[in-house]
Chain A
Amino acid sequence: MRNMKNVRTLSALAILLFLGSPLYSQTDTTDYEDEEDYSMYDDIDFADEAAKRYASPKIIGISPSKLIYLGYDYQGPYEMQFDGLDNTAGDTFTANSTTGIRLGCSIPVISRNSIVWQMGFNYWETHFNGTPSNLNNEASQSHQNTFRTTGINTTLFKPLGEEQFILFQGSADLNGDYTFSDLMPLKYLKYSAAALWGKRPNDRTQWGIGLARTYRVGELNYIPIVMYNWTDVENKWGTEILFPARANVRRTINPRNMVFAGFELQGQSYRLYNDVNLRSQDLEIRRGEIRLRMEYQFSIKDFLWISAQAGYRINYRYTTDYLPDGKEIYRAFGLLKDDPYVMDNNITNPWYMNVSLNLVSP
């Protein structure tokens, strides 16, 4: 009888110990927000030291940056006029449309509050639909081919403290009418870069000044750049400007729906490389254009966003240069050199649209 009592006592102890173990003891099972004395968190010190604060690469309300994108670009019909080359006649024809996919990525290699470094890849192509087969010279004939841009890029954001930062972007691109079975040599790579010093005086403003080596106006140039990103206190309006590359006014419907109005300057210098053994000269088409547009960006699910833009493509330059071995002519808008172009072509201006699916950044 006594033994039975001992067994019962020990068993009860075992059960109590088991129930007292963390398997059943919940530190917090309910929300106590109403009961919490939040004032205790007002005057509070760090256990050792505060985290070093750095300027963030973003401001409140700015549109999310794209980690991966896949898009399609369409330009409506427009007329192309090519000068004669050497003793050949010029050409005039209508491109029924210009189309092409655009895909790319910019993936973080390091992404901490003290430094952000991203590496990426991009591939853009341009088909000139409806180009006639009976054209007179090499430059106009090249529009029977697909123009491609294949490249890699890098972005480095380095905060210099709580407010100041530096931003560096660089890219190396192969631009031309090459095919992947007959890729252009790397000596024809075009290098672009931009370096910028900036300040982020508060969570809603970010500005900076810098210098860029760019082909956005079609040929090599070194130009000053200005950044100005801003969001109003109601998070309804803002600007996203990296002048002269792009400038947009933003209207935020909510953080997952944004409308933009503005422009983008796009351009490249395309090497005419297709059937290069049949060519007599080293030619590059210098294309620069301004895209006036409206854009709607919205989330379809979590971090998958659609960007739809439509606008007017205005030709800035569509000249042809003679560049043996890819060596550049740096004209500085005619201030340093006034070398004539071998062909001074012209194209008219169509409406255009661009749609892309994007995975956006945290």
Chain B
Amino acid sequence: MMKKATILSLFSILILGIYSFTFQTKDGGDRLIGVWEPSNGRARVKINKIGSKYFGKIVWLKEPKDPVSGKPKTDKNNPDESMRNVPLRGYRMLKDFIYKGDDVWEEGTIYDPLNGSTYNCTIKMTNKNTLDIRGYIGVSALGRTDVWKRLKIKKKKGRKRGRK
């Protein structure tokens, strides 16, 4: 009886070990994690993983302040009135991406703060430092692709880093 339990436990460890090894490597799509800049250079977006999905938030704006009020830019074009005072820096503009294999992340959305619209979106990594981001309406054919490039954060000594 004891022998059977021991074998069962060892088998569980083996299976879970293989499972952990498989999913804790970067091959699960985590190479998307990082800081990226759209081709227009107006913003920088940090992509993180929450659970099994990927999200991206604005961490830098070329023009961080509203040219009229002089205050930090907020999401003033959001159709939801309650969101219009939310700062754009820190705003999650990429949401709910799932890694589908072959360097493709799908089922996500991208938000355009310039007009307050949210589009369906797919991400294709064309090389380790380049993304094709395609925002579209309903079907992929009704969309537009932008090229984003990976940025490399300089690690400074003594800097208190934000949590990932």
In the assembled complex, the Cα of A6 lies from the Cα of B41 at a distance in Å of 59
Q: Measured between C-beta atoms, what is the minimum distance from B96 to chain A in Å? A: 13
Contact A111 B145 (CB under 8 A): yes
Q: Does A123 touch B at the CB level, under 8 Å?
A: no
Q: Measured between C-beta atoms, what is the minimum distance from B2 to chain A in Å? A: 4
Q: Measured between C-beta atoms, what is the minimum distance from B65 to chain A in Å? A: 12
Q: Does B83 touch A at the CB level, under 8 Å?
A: no
113-130 of chain B: CB within 8 A of chain A: 114-119, 128-130
Contact B160 A37 (CB under 8 A): yes
A4, A20, A60: the one contacting B114 at CB < 8 Å is A60
Nearest A residue to B39, CB-CB: A51
130-146 of chain B: CB within 8 A of chain A: 130, 135-137, 141-146
Contact B40 A53 (CB under 8 A): yes
Contact A233 B67 (CB under 8 A): yes
Number of contacting residues on A, CB 8 A? 61
Q: Which residues of A contact B142 (CB under 8 A)?
A: 67, 107-108, 359, 361-362
In the assembled complex, the Cα of A317 lies from the Cα of B159 at a distance in Å of 73
Q: Which residues of A contact B136 (CB under 8 A)?
A: 362
In the assembled complex, the Cα of A64 lies from the Cα of B39 at a distance in Å of 20
Q: Does A133 touch B at the CB level, under 8 Å?
A: no
272-296 of chain A: CB within 8 A of chain B: none
In the assembled complex, the Cα of A359 lies from the Cα of B117 at a distance in Å of 13
In the assembled complex, the Cα of A48 lies from the Cα of B37 at a distance in Å of 12
Q: Which residues of B contact A32 (CB under 8 A)?
A: 162-163
Say whether, besides A18-B16, A26-B51, A35 and B163 are in contact (CB < 8 Å): yes
Q: Which residues of A contact B16 (CB under 8 A)?
A: 14, 17-18, 21
Contact A10 B13 (CB under 8 A): yes
Q: Which residues of B contact A51 (CB under 8 A)?
A: 37-39, 130, 147-149
Q: Does A339 touch B at the CB level, under 8 Å?
A: no
Q: Which residues of A contact B145 (CB under 8 A)?
A: 111-113
Number of contacting residues on B, CB 8 A? 76
In the assembled complex, the Cα of A128 lies from the Cα of B123 at a distance in Å of 51
Q: Measured between C-beta atoms, what is the minimum distance from A43 to chain B in Å? A: 7
In the assembled complex, the Cα of A60 lies from the Cα of B161 at a distance in Å of 35
- 0/1 per residue, A36-68, Cβ < 8 Å to B? 111011111111111111101000100010010
Contact B144 A108 (CB under 8 A): yes
Q: Measured between C-beta atoms, what is the minimum distance from A256 to chain B in Å? A: 7
Say whether, besides A51-B39, A67-B142, A108-B143, A21 and B90 are in contact (CB < 8 Å): no
B41, B115, B143: the one contacting A255 at CB < 8 Å is B115
In the assembled complex, the Cα of A81 lies from the Cα of B137 at a distance in Å of 48
1-40 of chain B: CB within 8 A of chain A: 2-3, 5-6, 9-10, 12-13, 16-17, 19-20, 23-24, 28, 33, 35, 37-40
Q: Does A86 touch B at the CB level, under 8 Å?
A: no
B residues contacting A by CB (< 8 A) are 2-3, 5-6, 9-10, 12-13, 16-17, 19-20, 23-24, 28, 33, 35, 37-42, 44, 46, 48-52, 55, 57, 59-60, 67-68, 77, 79, 87, 89-90, 92, 112, 114-119, 128-130, 135-137, 141-154, 156, 159-164
Can you spell out 21 A-B residue pairs with CB atoms less than 8 angstroms apart?
A3-B5, A14-B13, A21-B23, A22-B24, A38-B60, A40-B161, A41-B59, A41-B153, A44-B44, A46-B37, A47-B152, A48-B149, A52-B147, A67-B142, A108-B142, A112-B146, A113-B147, A233-B67, A255-B114, A256-B79, A256-B115
